[in-house]
A and B are shown apart, each in its own frame.
Chain A
């Protein structure tokens, strides 16, 4: 029994210690952002490996999620004779929720884990130490560009996801479910509000992008410099990002649409 409380106490202290380190780490990384201004290529390289290389999974998932939404939504709407509003249902689901959330989850699995493993391996093989001894700050040279690139890439990926989801739903609705082409778009146009729906979705994806990149670079930088350490850190990135995204989504939804 005593052992249980000791364990609980230790875990709690561990968590707070980690949170403190993560916060300090974030402040140092943010302080490194201005040094990127004269060197945009550092960020562009990362945009490529974080954003462009994630495109395939985002494109495929977006199209399929949109098509499935259309099929499922149609079944429900048709019982009320409201199947012409399918465009509205799909657009609102994607813009408000599925776009930002699913993109963030995919981002954690595709780009976040890669970021953590890359930085963790650089630490394990003393590349970060070596950089420090060459008087180059890894915070500015390695961490800051990746953090910024993740922050920029995530909303763009979410936008692509939502756009392709709507296109996938459109093809399924109009081509196979017999929804009217004009009704699909015009109903969507009149029901979707730019500020209320589109902007709130963008804000969500900005928040998720920030948190996902932060967790990924921090876990890599903070990992124990061994192969198990890197593997544990990579797992933690995916788990923590997913939990953080789902938790934050609830909070943001309550504030925005509650």
Chain B
């Protein structure tokens, strides 16, 4: 790491520098740089398909960038060997968009999974820890249910309990609000902020839900077409002069991002010779 005393480098948990990434010839990122600071909730926003999930997978070391570096907790993720990467991942929690619960195991066993895999704790202690994590997400009473019996919001909260089971330093959320009804949306919004502050986590929330994300984020990075187009606090972004950011933050149907996907003109399609 470079010495930049003014920037207090120890406060930067994740440092993404000049990240470039291509997938099947398509450029997803061309020179993305951003930082995630200790104790904050950092949001990464952008329309669907900009590569938000891809960015989380790059940070977690599941994908390899074409160029650029990702430094997590002072370690270059893509220079680590498999064992070192797995050690680093124990300090990262990730909430997948789908929840990714193990469908053949009960809620209790799902949350116990990381504890059983990574610790030698005796069964009574695992039992208590799991119930504490489930209590934190309000689902202690659902411990014996199977994932197929849970509603979408409950499944996501169970996945959240599982992700924080090992007390990670960094929590990453992939679209935590997508497809939720207003009540479970509100529950998740407060839960993410509360867990962040109560457990002393640092959180990365990837989302395209502007209102909910603005409520809890300390810093927002807006991604578009492979770049960070603007960064700042929610208030700063709300006052942004950029036409693109305005359209995105205020959810206007047409603007720099056209409503119509590029294609031949309507006249050609309907009246043209075939």
Q: Which residues of chain A have a CB within 8 Å of any CB of chain B?
A: 121, 125-127, 129-130, 132-137, 141
Q: Kindly list chain B residues whose C-beta atoms are within 8 Å of the C-beta of A132.
A: 62, 89
Our pick among A130, A135, A136, A137 for the contact of B100 (Cβ within 8 Å) is A130
Our pick among B103, B118, B163 for the contact of A127 (Cβ within 8 Å) is B103
A141 to B96, CA, bound (A): 20
A130 to B162, CA, bound (A): 10
Our pick among B60, B82, B87, B117 for the contact of A133 (Cβ within 8 Å) is B60
Our pick among A125, A130, A141 for the contact of B117 (Cβ within 8 Å) is A141
**Contact present for B102 and A127 (CB under 8 Å):** yes
**Contact present for A133 and B89 (CB under 8 Å):** yes
| B16 at the binding interface (Cβ < 8 Å) | no
Q: Kindly list chain A residues whose C-beta atoms are within 8 Å of the C-beta of B163.
A: 134
| B220 at the binding interface (Cβ < 8 Å) | no
C-beta contact mask, B74-104 vs A, less than 8 Å → 1, else 0?
Answer: 0000000010001101101010111011110
Closest residue of B by beta carbon distance from A125: B98
Q: Kindly list chain B residues whose C-beta atoms are within 8 Å of the C-beta of A127.
A: 100-103
Closest residue of A by beta carbon distance from B98: A126
A38 to chain B, nearest CB (A): 11
Return 25 A-B CB contacts under 8 Å, by A number: A125-B98, A125-B100, A125-B103, A126-B96, A126-B97, A126-B98, A126-B100, A127-B100, A127-B102, A129-B62, A129-B100, A130-B100, A132-B89, A133-B62, A133-B94, A133-B96, A134-B90, A134-B113, A134-B114, A134-B162, A135-B89, A135-B114, A135-B117, A136-B114, A136-B118
B98 to chain A, nearest CB (A): 5
B218 to chain A, nearest CB (A): 24
Q: Kindly list chain A residues whose C-beta atoms are within 8 Å of the C-beta of B100.
A: 125-127, 129-130
A223 to B93, CA, bound (A): 26
Q: Kindly list chain A residues whose C-beta atoms are within 8 Å of the C-beta of B101.
A: 127
**Contact present for A135 and B94 (CB under 8 Å):** no
A121 to B147, CA, bound (A): 15
A46 to chain B, nearest CB (A): 12
B239 to chain A, nearest CB (A): 36
Q: Kindly list chain A residues whose C-beta atoms are within 8 Å of the C-beta of B166.
A: 134
Q: Kindly list chain A residues whose C-beta atoms are within 8 Å of the C-beta of B92.
A: 133
Of A130, A137, A141, most B-chain CB atoms within 10 Å: A130
The 6 closest A-B pairs by CB, nearest first: A130-B100, A135-B89, A126-B100, A135-B86, A133-B94, A135-B90
**Contact present for B96 and A130 (CB under 8 Å):** yes
A126 to B117, CA, bound (A): 18
Closest residue of A by beta carbon distance from B86: A135
A215 to chain B, nearest CB (A): 23
**Contact present for A137 and B94 (CB under 8 Å):** no
Q: Kindly list chain A residues whose C-beta atoms are within 8 Å of the C-beta of B87.
A: 135
C-beta contact mask, B106-131 vs A, less than 8 Å → 1, else 0?
Answer: 00000001100110000000000000
**Contact present for B60 and A134 (CB under 8 Å):** no
A247 to B108, CA, bound (A): 47
